[in-house]
Amino acid sequence: MVGQGISPRAALESTGGNTSPDAPSWDLGDLYAGREDPAIATTLGEAATAAGELAARFKGKIATANGDELAKLVEAYEAIEEKLGRVMSFAGLLFAAQRDDTAVSRFYATCQEKVSDIETGLLFVTLELNKIEDDEYAAALASSSALARYRPWLDQVRAFRPHQLDDEIERVLHEKHVTGRAAWNRLFDETMAGLRFPYEGKELSSQEIFDLLSNHDRETRRKASEAVGHVLGRNVKLMARITNTLAKDKQIEDGWRHFARPISSRNLANQVEDEVVAALISAVREAYPRLSHRYYALKAKWMGLDKLHTWDRNAPLPEDVDRRRSWDDARLTVLDAYRRFSPEIARILSDFFERGWIDADVREGKDSGAFCHSTVPSVHPYVLMNYQGKPRDIMTLAHELGHGVHQVLAGRQGYLLAGTPLTLAETASVFGEQLTFEAMLAKETDPAQRRVLLASKIEDKINTVVRQIAFSEFERQVHDRRKEGELTPEELGEIWMGVQKESLGPIFEFDAPYQHFWSYIPHFIHVPFYVYAYAFGDCLVSSLYAVFQEKPEGFQEKYLALLAAGGTKGHKELLAPFGLDASDPAFWSKGLAVTEQLIQRLEDELEAAGLARSAA
């Protein structure tokens, strides 16, 4: 569970450049005072000793232990995992904020190695738990209330029972992770952090160059896009090697574990059935013409263009005056939006601002995206983002703080039970965005800026749903074709261009350098098949928000209970109090219809203002 809760959402649309001077940097002191803090060595030493004692007491004996003995095992295991999670949370957050610092990178790698060594000694716990026969497992749960508390975690561990390998193979896979997948991940991160993009005689960071892709001047956007494409193209062989290696690595392990499809292991970890995910992906792809194709055709008319280029996708709209808002304004906007929904949530989020739990300043070498890391229940989450004062940045802040409140409330379940599957991890974040959007729209009195806000929300939803499903389709094709042999950079580019053309629609023209843009998406490297969780969460929240609007009485209590449940319940049980069921095919149509309604609303307002005729 080390690192669970990271949601690098904005890395998909990374931006940077102009920043608010009062945007804060975080204080990681609640974890450790610094890299040289002796408490780090103490924590690792205590974890290693406890792991040795646990192995001496239980290794080889779990299958014959009674319920109360198993409860003591799990409790001790949880305590050790929390210690290791604390160390890796600190190291990971430090590395995210300073990816170009070699000393920090070395510290991060060293912590990974030490934690991996201790984790290797704990592998027997889950391996032996899965060797307990079903009837004996049921009897143990029935005999011990202490053990029954951990049933959701135990059930999730045992869900992988059919895919578990021999103990020695599992040990080798675990030990080699640091020099295998983790090493390739680190190579990707350090390479991306070190890229510089030539632009008008300057060498810009990724934050600075991607910010220019949303510049008002079209020529600026074109030149910035060419610079990105050129630099990514110059590095595409390395990125193709990383992608091919990790895809093959996954293929080999999936084959050993007998997973039906490359996405199946992710679905199992997300506690969602293959057919439910397939229904989501199918519904979104079928909706491309009604969502992205329709909206971008409308945007082209609004901009007075016959065709859009890829560098126009995130272009400011004609009426957008590019107002930059201070960090304090963003703080008040988000807190007020959450407070109107739930004063309790606002109280929780106040701590993020007042206690240094947010890093929003833009700096060289810093992760170019955004995430909220849950760390461990005994501490608190931390948010990282790059704040530049745009309305979209305020939405990103609302999104990541939604993760934060979810993690704080779920943390009360304890380390093993706090974590939610990715499909539910986006619930609070997307809901928080919706609350903030509605609050900003209600405050805006200028009709032109209301239209800009509405369009910005539509674009965010398209990026969250359509773009992520296109990413998921890219991954599917890459992993399927990798079975036939290594993919060349050109073949990877062809797959990328194919899914982009399908998802964005005929209004777009695609220049050759855009074929390299797949190579900067971190999700493909770090968490294969992660991306559909964004679409899952957005559609889920759209349906949930509709329930809130229809029946607000008592909704807040049920919503807080959903968040506080953490990983103790699956999506069916959590959604039942709201009358929703993600296994119902109509569920996805209901969620997608919300975005269609927003597009229709924007079309109506533009027509009323005489700015664009209907694109329906």
In this predicted structure, the answer to whether residue 6 has a pLDDT above a threshold of 50 is no
What backbone torsions phi and psi does residue 467 show, to the nearest 5 degrees?
-65, -40
Sign of the Cα pseudo-torsion (96, 186, 415, 371, in order): positive
User: Residue 341 falls within a domain, yes or no?
Assistant: no
Cβ atoms of 156 and 567 within 8 Å: the answer is: yes
Task: Provide the number of structural domains found in the chain.
Answer: 1
CB 478 within 8 A of CB 495: yes
The more confidently predicted of residues 359 and 7 is 359
Statement: residue 75 has pLDDT above 60: yes
Distance of CA 143 to the CA centre of its chain: 39
- pLDDT value of position 354: 97
- Which residues, other chains included, contact 42 with Cβ-Cβ below 8 Å and sequence gap of 6+? none
Percent of the chain with pLDDT over 90: 79
Domain extent for 172: 31-179
Q: What is the mean pLDDT of residues 232-252?
A: 97
Nearest one of 372, 383, 390, 369 to 453, comparing CA atoms: 390
Indicate whether 80 belongs to any domain.
yes
Write the CB contacts of 343 (distance below 8 Å, at least 6 apart in sequence): none
Torsions phi, psi for 508 (to 5 deg): -95, 145
- Is the residue at 395 inside a domain? no
Rg (the chain; Cα; Å): 24
pLDDT above 70 covers a percentage of the chain that reads 96
Average pLDDT value for residue range 51-76 = 97
Mean pLDDT of 511-524: 95
Q: Are 560 and 490 in contact (CB under 8 A)?
A: no
Quote the tokens at residue 273. Answer: 């059935």
**Looking at residue 615, what is its pLDDT?**
43
Q: What is the mean pLDDT of residues 289-316?
A: 95
In a domain, 55, yes or no: yes
The per-residue DSSP string of 149-207 comes to: TTHHHHHHHHHTGGG---HHHHHHHHHTTTTTHHHHHHHHHHHHHH--EEETTEEE-HH
Instruction: Compute the mean pLDDT over every residue in the chain, rounded to the nearest whole number.
Output: 92
Query: What average pLDDT does this structure show over 64-78?
Result: 97
Q: Is the pLDDT confidence value at 38 over 60? A: yes
pLDDT of residue 396: 94
Q: Which of 30-39, 161-170, 227-236, 399-408 comes out lowest in average pLDDT?
A: 161-170
- Alpha-carbon dihedral 208, 26, 397, 8, rounded to 10 degrees: 70
Q: What are phi and psi of 409, to 5 degrees?
A: -65, -45
pLDDT at 12 over 50: no
> With bands split at pLDDT 50, 70 and 90, how would you rate the model's confidence at 237?
very high
DSSP calls for 402-450:
HHHHHHHHHGGG-HHHH---HHHHTHHHHHHHHHHHHHHHHH---HHHH
Using the predicted structure, report yes or no on whether residue 8 has a pLDDT greater than 80.
Answer: no
Distance (Å, rounded) from C-alpha 531 to C-alpha 533? 5
What confidence tens digit (pLDDT) does each residue in 193-207 have? 899 999 999 999 888
Is 2 a residue whose pLDDT tops 70?
no
Is 413 within a domain? no
pLDDT band per the 50, 70, 90 thresholds, residue 18? very low
Stretch 24-37: mean pLDDT, rounded?
97
What would the two tokens of residue 99 be? Answer: 């990816």
Sorted by sequence, the CB contacts under 8 Å of residue 151 that are 6+ apart come out as 141
Q: Is residue 46 part of a domain?
A: yes
Q: Is residue 126 part of a domain?
A: yes
Within a domain: 40: yes
The model's pLDDT over 329-378, given as tens digits with 9 standing for 90+, comes to 999 999 999 999 999 999 999 999 999 999 999 988 898 789 999 999 99
231/225 Cα distance (integer angstroms): 10
- Per-residue pLDDT band at 392 (split at 50, 70, 90): confident
pLDDT in tens, 473-496: 999 999 999 999 999 999 999 999
* Candidate from 18-32, 103-117, 159-173 with smallest mean pLDDT: 18-32
Q: Are 91 and 108 in contact (CB under 8 A)?
A: yes
Please report which confidence band the pLDDT of residue 21 belongs to, taking 50, 70 and 90 as the band edges.
low
User: Around Cβ 190, how many Cβ atoms within 10 Å?
Assistant: 14
Amino acid 20: pLDDT: 58
CB-side neighbour CA atoms (13 Å) of 575: 22
CATH number reported for the structural domain that contains residue 102 in this entry: 1.20.140.70
- pLDDT of 613 reads 52
Residue 187 pLDDT:
95
